[in-house]
Amino acid sequence: MTQTLTAPTTSEPFYLPVHDEVELFRAAYEQRIPVLLKGPTGCGKTRFVERMAWEIFGQRDEPDPALITVTCHDDITSADLVGRYLLSGEGTTWLDGPLTQAVRTGAICYLDEVVEARKDTTVILHSLTDHRRTLPIERLGTTLEAHPDFLLVVSYNPGYQASAKDLKPSTRQRFMAIEFDYPDREKETEIVVHESGVEEETARQLASLGEQLRRLDEAGVIEGPSTRLLVHVGGLIVRGIAPRRACDVGLVQALSDDRDVQDAVSHVVSAVFPA
């Protein structure tokens, strides 16, 4: 089954804008232009969508959440998104899929890592993402008109998916794209402090570490490290784990299984954090 999450709307999600992404998203929402978020893993795409859903809808009550997130994978079928019949005592019952639910109730539907889904699955998005704003439900024999509040948001990480996996141009050209990157050192320090509760000096060192290691990302040696990963390491440090050890378990092992690369990453870690 599909991993479907509804956003925790009880409190305002923390998000630190890096560029003009908040204004862009608002403008796109006002025009109901579907949004494509591009960027490396762990740079805050999901958090951004949560934040925007909160800003746009404020606090919504169940059962109609403001944001419905679907994490895509290569086994996802259109039934997983649209819905399926289930067996029941008297016969069959129809259960809306997450996409259908969002279309009906007028939520933001966020398809995370959309290229992971099979290409035939993404095609069902086409009529939703142009002037029609409709979702054909083949099994019900109906076509659903999208709620006026509905917006489709998808994300993908162009570097991470191999060239073999890419969005079809016919899909890609339906979206407005907002590009994300890791925040700069100052912003990242602030984020790590806020999210992990670590001291500012340590957060700054973590951010600087992230900056150095991302040069290996540019070289294609590793991916990241993401801001999220740095936050995790910060969390370990707050819990009293020594910084080098926290980096070892949280960063070195997470970034690569290649011994040479691990050695190089440990070298950088031990240059930044004293024993």
Chain residues in the site for another protein (CB under 8 A): 75, 77, 79, 84-87, 91-92, 161-165, 205, 208, 212-213, 215-216, 218-222, 244, 248, 256, 258-275
Q: Is 49 within 8 Å of 15 (Cβ atoms)? A: no
Query: Considering beta carbons, is residue 91 or 148 the nearer one to another protein?
Result: 91
Helices (H), 197-226: 200-218
Query: Considering beta carbons, is residue 73 or 194 the nearer one to another protein?
Result: 73
Q: Which of 250, 227, 225, 233 is nearest to 198 (CA)?
A: 233
Q: Coil, strand or helix: which one is 108?
A: strand
Helices (H), the chain: 21-31, 45-57, 78-82, 98-105, 119-122, 169-172, 185-196, 200-218, 227-238, 243-247, 253-255, 259-272
Q: What is the DSSP letter of 115?
A: G
Q: Among all chains, which residue has been given the structure tokens 């992971």? A: 116
Cis upstream peptide for 225 (omega within 30°): yes
Task: Give dist(CA 160, CA 60) in Å, integer.
Answer: 34
Query: Considering beta carbons, is residue 26 or 267 the nearer one to another protein?
Result: 267
To another protein, the closest distance from the beta carbon of 81 in angstroms equals 13
**Per-residue 3-state assignment (H helix, E strand, C coil) for 10-54:** CCCCCCCCCCCHHHHHHHHHHHCCCEEEECCCCCCHHHHHHHHHH
Query: Considering beta carbons, is residue 5 or 272 the nearer one to another protein?
Result: 272
Q: What are 257's two structure tokens?
A: 């299984």
Q: Coil, strand or helix: which one is 99?
A: helix
To another protein, the closest distance from the beta carbon of 168 in angstroms equals 16
To another protein, the closest distance from the beta carbon of 257 in angstroms equals 10
Contacting residues for 249 by C-beta, under 8 A, at least 6 apart: 236, 241
Query: Considering beta carbons, is residue 9 or 157 the nearer one to another protein?
Result: 157
To another protein, the closest distance from the beta carbon of 145 in angstroms equals 26
- According to DSSP, the residues that pair with 151 across neighbouring strands are 108
To another protein, the closest distance from the beta carbon of 25 in angstroms equals 30
Query: Considering beta carbons, is residue 46 or 205 the nearer one to another protein?
Result: 205
To another protein, the closest distance from the beta carbon of 78 in angstroms equals 11
Query: Considering beta carbons, is residue 52 or 265 the nearer one to another protein?
Result: 265
To another protein, the closest distance from the beta carbon of 96 in angstroms equals 15
